[in-house]
Every structure is written in structure tokens, then in C-alpha cells.
Amino acid sequence: MHKGSCLCGAVRITVSGNLPKPNACHCRACRKQTGHYGASVDVPRSSLSVENEDMVRWYQSSDKVRRGFCCACGSTLFWDPVHHDWTAIAMGAFDGSTGTSLSMHIFVSEKGDYYEIADGLPQNSR
């Protein structure tokens, strides 16, 4: 079981079971939303519970995806593909050890020019 929250603590999450490996997304939208790049883990909706979900605001960033953030503190929390039964949770939301590690970098073709990716993990252009 893994617990987490937004910065102000209004939105709290619990994920049951182990976390799969997250990925780091360097696409334009994740960079804009997070301020750097996004690291998130895909979990089945059935294993995610959200307290104070009414504090989550959704930004529809494309036809198929909405992005959830706390309306009080602005923390990036969810990347939600509306036609699927899973949700990506921002790794920064988790408290304590996660017991997992990044699997790969995606959308590196859109990464910023002010940093290098030097961790040796696979990189996908998309």
C-alpha cells in the first residue's frame, strides 16, 4: 500500500499493491504542467482511492487525456486517459519510499535543452 498527497495535503491518495515501474515523460504538455518533466506511474483505477476528490480540478489537455491537479496548491497529481481503466499518478505525490524506480524516458524529442538525460535508461523519441 502506498500513500501520498498534494503539497497542501487537501487531496490524499492511497494505492493498493506494489507500484509498477514509472516512466519519465518529456513532452511539451508534461513540461508545461510540471515545470520540468513528468514522472508518473500507471495504476488500475480499482487500486486507487482518492480522498477529497472534490479538490481535484481537471484540465482536458487533449481529446483522450485529462490532467488532474489540486485546486488549492496546484500540485500535479493525475494523468488520466479517459477511455482506459487506469490512471497515471505523479511520482512526486507519494510519501516515503516507493519501492520502485524509473523504467524509461519518453517523448525525449520534446525535452528541454537545459538538461541531459544521463541515467542510462532507454529513451523513446515519442
Residues 8-37 that bind Zn ion (CB under 5 A): 8, 10
| x-or-dash string of contact with Zn ion, 38-67, rule CB under 5 A | ------------------------------
Tell the smallest beta-carbon distance from residue 67 to Zn ion (Å).
15
Q: Pairing between strand 76-81 and 2-5?
A: unpaired
- By the rule CB under 5 A, 72 interacts with Zn ion: yes
By beta-carbon proximity to Zn ion, the closer residue of 44 and 92 is: 92
Number of residues that bind Zn ion (CB under 5 A): 6
Per-residue b or e along 56-85, where b marks 16 or more CB atoms closer than 10 Å to that residue's CB: beeeebeeebbbbbbbeeebbbbbbeeeee
- Considering only 4, 6, 33, 69, the residue that binds Zn ion (CB under 5 A) is 6
Q: Sign of the C-alpha dihedral, residues 88, 93, 99, 105?
A: positive
The answer to whether 42 and 100 have CB atoms below 8 angstroms apart is no
In single-letter form, the type of residue at position 125 comes to S
Residues that bind Zn ion (CB under 5 A): 6, 8, 10, 70, 72-73
